[in-house]
Chains A and B, each alone.
Chain A
């Protein structure tokens, strides 16, 4: 018996030595089927993720389409200077940050609250029905949601204004008024993601040991105390991870929805970095300038993610990596 173990051990040691001794070409050959399976995925990431990252270099060049990428001249930080010295820069950064922050502040807690309430529903059929209904908006496209908003908020026969008028108010042209844009954007976001966002929290909630609640009830803890002392601490790690993921994309304000909802009349609050990049780059053809602004945006996002992850690691020992 003991001998068996020893011989097994020495066999294993031998095989490790063998692996280390293998030449690269032998290893490649041994892995040929796996590598072949991975090839399409590898090509995808190289062509559509890493080539564009390399392409960010045009933000330090004066890209001319007829010269191509490599023949265009290097201009250093020219486009960055141009952006930061233009009056647009401040407004764009401010708008993007505000829209992102409002989405985070209002949009982040909403699914948690919804999950907490839904978790209290004891009638399983009702719970199931409410959940199914709440997922629905997630499946609507951004075009449909924006179109609904434009139509419902329209001053001519829009349902919202019809209601306002029925109650004796005056019709409001919501989407031509800069001060309403953020509210419309954030509220419709919450409407769309409430149920979907709650899935994760509902899963975390269902993992809590019911005995904890039974014990708490015997000790005379009311619902509120149970919430503070059992429920929230139990789902805290989930909340923190979701918060970290969200923080990293604060500046990643949804290009599509802004693009579909805004108009020049409300650029004051609605124009964000990504829409500006689109207009400068794709519409006007200032590729280098637009790429510079895009890179600035990505770098800030990365910094936000890394720093929030660091803070979380210090405070709660929960981190993404």
Chain B
């Protein structure tokens, strides 16, 4: 009797888990298959799971497209510059905040926490960015969101754990706080740097709001804006055809190939960084 009950229970769980896995993976597999199939099968909606008439024509098309190429380059520049800048400000800020003896330390903490619950919002922020004269430049893309308060607090709580004895010994050796941070703290903080760096990089790679609001010239557009033009074009296939040139291209194949190209770097990397970001989310939850 008892055995039977347990087996029903595990069967239900098995079904639930399988359902989640399928519903998560299927959209990606479907897009991959369509993008690798021959036009004719896509047109007839015959591709469901595996590619039919396997070919990589779409990927050649996407990778040789000038607009996508430029946008990809822009995204990489924004991600590298943005992540480096964000990390630098977050590291130095968090380290200073973790030293409770710093003058005004309490005031600075409160000043930062307040922004988690109240902010100026879209319009005043836009006006600020405009009056700084950085509209339509890389700075408008990376500066307004450079620091995430959540990440800052996460990093501060990590620095809080740093043993004061080591810091004291550093001070005896004649190091000031900048030296302590650089020579003693950072070398043992690679895990948290990887975590926060990943958070910033992913956010910048996927960022849509800032470039959408602040950028005007299409030569500066990151990948997400080009993707939006392609994907949200709906059934009017003006954009899709302009890429394909003279040959007729099925819109979906092209869209999906572009999506796959845009998500590939992140999908390829995140499973290996799992332990870092899981830890990051957990520290944030416990300390935040």
The interface residues of chain B lying within 8 Å CB-to-CB of A134 are 20-21, 24
A246 to B202 alpha-carbon distance, docked (Å): 22
Task: Count B interface residues, CB 8 Å.
Answer: 88
Smallest CB separation, B206 vs chain A (Å): 3
Q: Cβ of A56 and Cβ of B121 under 8 Å apart?
A: yes
Question: Per a CB cutoff under 8 Å, which of A33, A38, A48, A281 touches B97?
Answer: A38
Q: Cβ of A48 and Cβ of B17 under 8 Å apart?
A: no
Q: A274-312 CB contact bits vs B (8 Å, 1 = yes)?
A: 100110011000010011001101100110010000000
The interface residues of chain A lying within 8 Å CB-to-CB of B177 are 33-34, 37
| Interface hit among A83-91, A101-109, A143-151 | A143-151
From 198 to 213 in chain B, residues with beta carbon under 8 angstroms from any chain A beta carbon are: 202, 205-209, 212-213
The interface residues of chain A lying within 8 Å CB-to-CB of B232 are 146-147, 150, 260
Assess whether A124 is interfacial by the CB under 8 Å rule. no
Residue of A nearest to B12 (CB): A117
Assess whether B126 is interfacial by the CB under 8 Å rule. yes
Q: Cβ of A150 and Cβ of B231 under 8 Å apart?
A: yes
Q: Cβ of A117 and Cβ of B17 under 8 Å apart?
A: yes
A298 to B125 alpha-carbon distance, docked (Å): 14
Q: Cβ of B123 and Cβ of A277 under 8 Å apart?
A: yes
Q: Cβ of A38 and Cβ of B108 under 8 Å apart?
A: yes
A63 to B177 alpha-carbon distance, docked (Å): 45
Smallest CB separation, B128 vs chain A (Å): 5
Assess whether A44 is interfacial by the CB under 8 Å rule. yes
Q: Cβ of A150 and Cβ of B234 under 8 Å apart?
A: yes
A87 to B206 alpha-carbon distance, docked (Å): 36
Q: Cβ of B93 and Cβ of A37 under 8 Å apart?
A: yes
Question: Per a CB cutoff under 8 Å, which of A41, A121, A132, A146 touches B152?
Answer: A41
Q: Cβ of B115 and Cβ of A45 under 8 Å apart?
A: yes
The interface residues of chain B lying within 8 Å CB-to-CB of A152 are 27
Q: Cβ of B103 and Cβ of A31 under 8 Å apart?
A: yes
Residue of B nearest to A49 (CB): B115
Q: Cβ of A291 and Cβ of B123 under 8 Å apart?
A: yes
Determine the main DSSP class of A at the interface with B.
helix
Q: Cβ of A137 and Cβ of B24 under 8 Å apart?
A: yes
Smallest CB separation, B11 vs chain A (Å): 12
A302 to B212 alpha-carbon distance, docked (Å): 27
Q: Cβ of A256 and Cβ of B108 under 8 Å apart?
A: no
Q: Cβ of A277 and Cβ of B128 under 8 Å apart?
A: no
A44 to B90 alpha-carbon distance, docked (Å): 10
Smallest CB separation, A92 vs chain B (Å): 15
From 152 to 195 in chain A, residues with beta carbon under 8 angstroms from any chain B beta carbon are: 152, 154, 156-157, 159, 162, 191, 194-195
Interface residues of B (CB under 8 A from A): 9, 13, 16-17, 20-21, 23-25, 27-28, 30-31, 42-43, 45, 48, 88-90, 92-97, 99, 101-103, 108, 111-112, 115, 117-128, 131-132, 143-144, 146-147, 152, 176-178, 181, 202, 205-209, 212-213, 224, 227-228, 230-232, 234-235, 252, 255-256, 259, 262-263, 266-267, 270-271, 274, 278, 281-282, 285
Interface residues of A (CB under 8 A from B): 27-28, 30-31, 33-38, 40-42, 44-45, 47-56, 58, 63, 69, 114, 117-118, 120-121, 126, 130-137, 139-144, 146-148, 150-152, 154, 156-157, 159, 162, 191, 194-196, 199-200, 203, 223, 238, 241, 248, 255-256, 260, 274, 277-278, 281-282, 287, 290-291, 294-295, 297-298, 301-302, 305
Q: List 19 A-B contacts (CB under 8 A).
A: A31-B102, A34-B102, A38-B92, A41-B96, A44-B89, A44-B146, A45-B111, A47-B128, A53-B120, A133-B20, A148-B27, A157-B43, A157-B45, A162-B45, A200-B285, A255-B209, A277-B123, A287-B127, A291-B124
